[in-house]
Amino acid sequence: MGSAGVLGSLAVIARVLRPRRAVWLAIALLCALMILGVASSRVYLGAHYPSDVLGGLFAAASWISAITGWIYPRLLPHERTTPTAGEST
């Protein structure tokens, strides 16, 4: 879960920084491959059951979604979908 959370967060940060499309796709692909590599190695080495690994991946995805959905609209004004107090539409 830790690896998936950190690597997934790096991919989200790379997306927010808006690099060229090819750079972002390379970063996203690298992070996804590393997440899959760590997850499969946990099962292959017998450290965790497959259900444990899937649960960790889902928990990491939920954590990233919750944090980015709460923090980014407050930090990046162009990401807001609804007006905040004092703003008119």
Tell me the pLDDT tens digit for each residue of 3-26.
999 999 888 888 888 889 899 899
Cβ distance 64 to 8 under 8 Å?
yes
Provide the whole-model pTM: 0.72
Domain housing 55: 2-77
Residue 86 belongs to a domain: no
Residue-wise pLDDT tens digits, 23-65: 989 999 999 999 999 999 999 998 899 999 999 999 999 998 8
Cβ distance 15 to 71 under 8 Å?
no
Q: How many domains does the chain have?
A: 1
- For the chain, state the CA radius of gyration: 16
Residue 85 belongs to a domain: no
CB count within 10 Å of CB 71 equals: 11
Q: Specify the DSSP element, H or E, that contains 25.
A: helix 21-44
